[in-house]
A and B are shown apart, each in its own frame.
Chain A
Amino acid sequence: MEIPGILSIAIFLPFISAVIVAVFLTGKAARGFAVIASALELVVTGYIFVAHRQNGYDFSERITSWFPDSFPVQYFLSVDGISAPLILLTGLLGIVAIFASWNITERTKEHFMWLLLLQGAVIGVFTSMDFLLFFLFWELELIPMFFLISIWGTGRKEYSAMKFLIFTILGSAFMLIGILVIFAGTGTFDMTRISEALPSSNLIMPVGILFLFMSIGFAVKLPVFPLHTWLPDAHTDAPTAASVMLAGVLLKMGGYGLLRVSAGMFPDQLEKYAWVLALLGVINIIYGAAITIRQTDLKRLIAYSSVSHMGFVLLGLSAMGGVTSHLAMTGAALQMFTHGTITGLLFLTIGFIYERTHTRHIPDLGGLARRMPIFTVSFVVAGLASLGLPGTSGFVSEITIFLGAFPAFKLATIIAAFGVVLTAAYILWMIQRSMFGPERERFAQIGDATAVQVIPIGLLIVSIIGVGIYPAFVSDVFTEGITQMLNMTGAN
């Protein structure tokens, strides 16, 4: 059964819950309500994903009379194969983030309010099919994240929050110009019509520049070298829940934009500059991995590993137009999903460990495994998935990207594939130094996960192993979306 208006529900359920939390509730009541709201949201997003997967529903909602006719902005929501898994991912990490904030005592209700707002805004980004609406949600997401980092963060939190904000806003400024140019040329904000309208339209700037403007906004978000330096700072200083959301879903907005807009609307440009994408992808992967191994702060280490892993998304996209573009681009999309759950689990576990040890400095850790068997299992599973071990979701996305990208860029793919060795090195060394080795006196009284903490850990482990064992559950949906997109662009 196709439930009408479910996409609006998915967006506004967190929004309204945020308002209720802010106005009526405090402390534990706010927390409890946030848990219920995010659980409902998980059900809603799960329904959207499964219904789309089984029945192909797109759940389109369209209010055309939102603005005067001369300004054709619509309230237009829809899902397809590219967005459906990302919506599910947002629902999943949303509840994980709430559980990650369980022990927040400072300004509790505000914290949950911002988290819920953030979740709604991200769902809005993934469902909007009107460019201006898309941009609105894209910008809206900044506000909760800014406050989450600057209020509940650690270290140089104000600096990091501001850096995050300025980078993204500068990126979106380019995007906004691009959106306006597209509108001026095609007369529409309807993202489903732009790709066909664009080639015949009269643009006020060269299409290559337009492509660049649009892509910069997404490149900052993904992030792409050399626009990535906001990420280590923001991740390191953000509270656990914000790190989970930031790495888990916010980066995916960049990848989503690259797929939906850069590839979907400018296929010719993307194919023309594919080598740039491949080159930047390799730099992200190798340069990112080399920096990662030098890090001594657990969160900063995982942050740089995200830079490295997002390079695989670029590499996958670079194969567009080639004979194996379906495979590579599905791999790129899959990498976004899998990285979301894997890195989400890494940040979550690190956050929980930090609550107990009060340090993330790797040389000060060590010998925790005996004290924390559950956290160790969680950390090791996430780490192994991150290095692409078969049986976990990380393997599926990496192998599909490698196989798909190789025919297009052989040398780049081989260099990128060496990333699996470098990744193994920093992940296993990190696990060895932080969890293994002799027990330390100062951690003698430290305990393992509480029952509440097992819930989000369990959810993510199940999704990591589940997709690893049965990848078609997610990949079939992505494949359908990618195929549809490639057919529309006539790229294949």
Chain B
Amino acid sequence: MINEQLVWAIFFIPLASFCLLALLVRPFFNSYSYISGPIAIVSIGISFILSLLTFFEVATNSNHNLVSEPNSWLEIGDFHFTVGILMDPLTAVMLVVVTGVSLMVQIYSMGYMKPSNHGSENAEHHGPEELGKPVYARYFAYMSLFTASMLGLVMAANVVQLFVFWELVGLCSYLLIGFWFHRPAAAAAAKKAFIVTRIGDFGFLIALMYLFFKTHNKGDNYLEISVINANLPGLVDAGLITAGALTLIALGMFVGAIGKSGQFPLHTWLPDAMEGPTPVSALIHAATMVTAGVFLVARFFPIFEHSPDVMLIVTIIGGVTAIFAATMGLVANDIKRVLAYSTVSQLGYMMLALGVGAYGPAIFHLFTHAFFKALLFLGSGSVNHATGTFDMRYMGGLRRKMPITYITFLIGSLSLAGIFPLAGFWSKDEILLNAWDKGDVASIIGFSLALIAVFMTAFYMFRALLLTFEGDFRGGSDKDPEAQAHGPVHLTESPFPMVLPLVILAIPAVIIGFLVNPIKDFGGIPAHWFTHKLEHSLHLPPPPAFDPILAIISSLIALLGILLAWAMYKRNPYLSPATMGRVAGPIYTLFLNKYYVDEVYEKFITGRIYYNGIALISDWIDRNIVDRTVNIIGWLGANFGSLIRELQTGQTQMYATVTSVGIIIIAAVYIFGM
């Protein structure tokens, strides 16, 4: 049986691992840093087992929640900050996703981050004198901190507690994107990720302020998530707060979610985040942290549901992001960037689902996506391990050299493309079905965008697969002018610790869709078991029934995408990519340059308007107007001082000044006193 202490342990064990590695191993026992990996893996392994037990406990528990009393943390006036655990099906699912993927990624990292790892992206890092040892302890320390923070985020019972971990996962993302801080691109990407997500957090912060302002005198502690979800809509219905207030709160939270989940228009940081080590991309920038935005909307779903305007925005942003990111994925040459755009696009699907009210399907897609996307990222790392590059133009022909990587990557691609009967098929189908079924204008727009994105997804994944594994090998890092190192390329399958997680993750990528959420009763598993559990406490209309026609249409569209990719990137293509590029012309350029959004943000807004505009003018005003004005006053004061100076000599002037001031005071006071 799982009690509160054991749930806390899920969070505290990885945290302890971080403390051990950061405070003890890294500073004092760095020559033994090879123990860092096992320490981190064992701790996350324990958390994983406890998470699984918790998941089954919650799933079989009649009220679906494990209730625990909040602990007081900070109390000032009306502000009562408590910390506690909110354990409902959503949290239980997230716990399994976070610990499960984290465990796989950390095992993989044992092989990938190994100092002797030739050709990989950390090759340059270990000079002969340090053999990568400091890197090893630091890496696993950060990974443990991230896992703990992410677990803290999904378990949080208080919205301020959630915000704390929300920012802490952002910190870990910053530290891990900038892990190879000596590379300017990595340092810049880390900073960009933090600042762009912080713009989202600014929205979240306003939502917090507004929430506290509206509710601090309403009795219950409205910082508790369960109180917010249970009572806040009621306050609106009772007229105690306005519907507009609720809309603002939901909107602020969604701005936070946009930042964290890389939704348009704050998506720009996520592709750049690929500067981090590949296992980090798999864990943080694909499977877990970036889903925190989706999680946030789901967490406060009763509030969103009560704000139709915000739901409309969620739908549109989700649909637009799904297709917008996919178009950029079509043309990217870096395999990790293809996957990054794909992640942004898939997160758009999840947002779309939430927007149309399909709470269960959104989390279902989050769940399946975590496995197959982590698998794909780890696969790209495996490829990099062999070739030393991420640029697909210098890969090719790896199928025979790396059969396990190839097979697992193929499975991941099929699952992501939504091919029957793999996991991605079921979850994506649910989203499309719900959007279609909702039927209003925004939902239909979202549905159409998502359906076009299905075609693009299938195309870019198979473009990546064919470029990487088929044809002839095109030289790897030896040929890539931008590769980090130009060492000899050894085209062999990756070592066991890397291959094992690929194989393990490939299993859920195939079966987990039908297994947890079958469309019909399947063995002991009732139909739609997963989404029913998630939605039990929400009062949602009954979900639409599985629609074979829609499933066939979306599958055909995906197959068309695969077909086009095959026609363009097979040996002796029917359609040469170069020709296609010329035909597409300006659109191709637009996609390749990411719609120039980065240019607008960095060159225009931060560069022109802020740094060389507002900041420059402020700085000029401060030096030439404010300071000059007060210096004139100061000059008057200084001349006044020189009068006194004539009465005094040498260093004692200052004492004398003060003393004489003192005497004047006392004399004045005596005069007043008389």
Does B12 have its Cβ within 8 Å of any Cβ on chain A?
no
State in angstroms the CA–CA spacing of A400 and B15 once bound together.
Answer: 26
Given contacts A327-B76, A370-B182, A432-B187, contact A402 B167 (CB under 8 A): no
Does A407 have its Cβ within 8 Å of any Cβ on chain B?
yes
Q: Which residues of A contact B662 (CB under 8 A)?
A: 136, 139
Does A77 have its Cβ within 8 Å of any Cβ on chain B?
no
State the interface size on chain A (CB cutoff 8 A): 78
CB–CB B205/A420 < 8 A: yes
Does A425 have its Cβ within 8 Å of any Cβ on chain B?
yes
CB–CB A166/B164 < 8 A: no
CB–CB A437/B670 < 8 A: no
Q: Which residues of A contact B190 (CB under 8 A)?
A: 428, 432
CB–CB A438/B619 < 8 A: no
State in angstroms the CA–CA spacing of A153 and B662 once bound together.
Answer: 28
Task: Output the least CB separation between B150 and chain A (Å).
Answer: 14
In chain A between 383 and 420, which residues have their CB closer than 8 angstroms to a CB of chain B? 384, 389-391, 395-396, 399-400, 402-404, 406-407, 410, 413-414, 417-418, 420
CB–CB A406/B210 < 8 A: yes
Cβ-defined partner of A436 (8 Å) among B187, B205, B668: B187
Q: Which residues of A contact B626 (CB under 8 A)?
A: 225-226, 228-229
CB–CB B77/A404 < 8 A: yes
Specify which of B183, B201, B619 lies most central, judged by the most chain A CB atoms within 10 Å of its CB. B619
Given contacts A136-B662, A327-B76, contact A438 B201 (CB under 8 A): no
State the interface size on chain B (CB cutoff 8 A): 72
State in angstroms the CA–CA spacing of A474 and B168 once bound together.
Answer: 22
CB–CB A424/B182 < 8 A: no
Does A324 have its Cβ within 8 Å of any Cβ on chain B?
yes
CB–CB A139/B661 < 8 A: yes
Given contacts A324-B77, A429-B191, contact A389 B167 (CB under 8 A): yes
- Using CB atoms, name the residue of chain A closest to B216: A324
**Proximity string of chain A (330-357) to chain B, C-beta cutoff 8 Å, 1 when within and 0 when not:** 1100000000000000000000000000
State in angstroms the CA–CA spacing of A411 and B168 once bound together.
Answer: 27
Q: Which residues of B contact A436 (CB under 8 A)?
A: 178, 181-182, 184, 187
CB–CB A323/B654 < 8 A: no
Given contacts A71-B669, A167-B634, contact A330 B611 (CB under 8 A): no
Task: Output the least CB separation between A278 and chain B (Å).
Answer: 14
Does B556 have its Cβ within 8 Å of any Cβ on chain A?
no
Q: Which residues of A contact B209 (CB under 8 A)?
A: 402-403, 406, 413-414, 417
Does B78 have its Cβ within 8 Å of any Cβ on chain A?
yes
Does B650 have its Cβ within 8 Å of any Cβ on chain A?
no
Does A132 have its Cβ within 8 Å of any Cβ on chain B?
yes
Q: Which residues of A contact B641 (CB under 8 A)?
A: 166
**Proximity string of chain B (155-176) to chain A, C-beta cutoff 8 Å, 1 when within and 0 when not:** 0000010011101100100100
Does B646 have its Cβ within 8 Å of any Cβ on chain A?
no
Does A221 have its Cβ within 8 Å of any Cβ on chain B?
no
Given contacts A170-B637, A294-B616, A406-B213, contact A428 B191 (CB under 8 A): yes
Does B633 have its Cβ within 8 Å of any Cβ on chain A?
yes
Binds A, one of B2-10, B32-40, B192-200, B427-435: B192-200
Does A439 have its Cβ within 8 Å of any Cβ on chain B?
yes
Does B487 have its Cβ within 8 Å of any Cβ on chain A?
no
State in angstroms the CA–CA spacing of A9 and B363 once bound together.
Answer: 63
State in angstroms the CA–CA spacing of A425 and B654 once bound together.
Answer: 42
**Proximity string of chain A (131-149) to chain B, C-beta cutoff 8 Å, 1 when within and 0 when not:** 0100110011011001000
CB–CB B619/A291 < 8 A: yes
Q: Which residues of B contact A162 (CB under 8 A)?
A: 638
Q: Which residues of B contact A367 (CB under 8 A)?
A: 182
Task: Output the least CB separation between A424 and chain B (Å).
Answer: 5
Task: Output the least CB separation between B226 and chain A (Å).
Answer: 20
In chain B between 120 and 173, which residues have their CB closer than 8 angstroms to a CB of chain A? 134, 160, 163-165, 167-168, 171
CB–CB B181/A143 < 8 A: no
Task: Output the least CB separation between B530 and chain A (Å).
Answer: 32
Q: Report 29 cross-chain contacts, Cβ distance below 8 Å, ordered by A residue.
A: A136-B662, A139-B661, A139-B662, A163-B631, A166-B634, A169-B637, A180-B669, A183-B669, A183-B672, A229-B627, A230-B630, A290-B614, A324-B216, A327-B77, A370-B182, A384-B171, A389-B168, A390-B163, A395-B167, A399-B160, A400-B76, A402-B209, A417-B206, A417-B209, A420-B202, A428-B191, A432-B188, A432-B190, A436-B184
| Chain B residues engaging chain A, CB cutoff 8 angstroms | 73-79, 134, 160, 163-165, 167-168, 171, 174, 178, 181-184, 187-188, 190-191, 194-195, 198-199, 201-202, 205-206, 208-210, 212-213, 216-217, 606, 610-611, 614-616, 618-619, 622, 626-627, 629-631, 633-634, 637-638, 641, 654-655, 658, 661-662, 665-666, 668-670, 672-674
Instruction: Beyond the given A176-B661, A472-B74, please list 20 additional residue pairs across the A-B interface where CB-CB is below 8 A.
Output: A163-B634, A229-B631, A287-B622, A290-B610, A290-B615, A291-B615, A294-B616, A323-B217, A324-B79, A326-B77, A326-B78, A327-B79, A391-B164, A391-B168, A399-B208, A406-B209, A410-B213, A420-B205, A424-B194, A428-B195
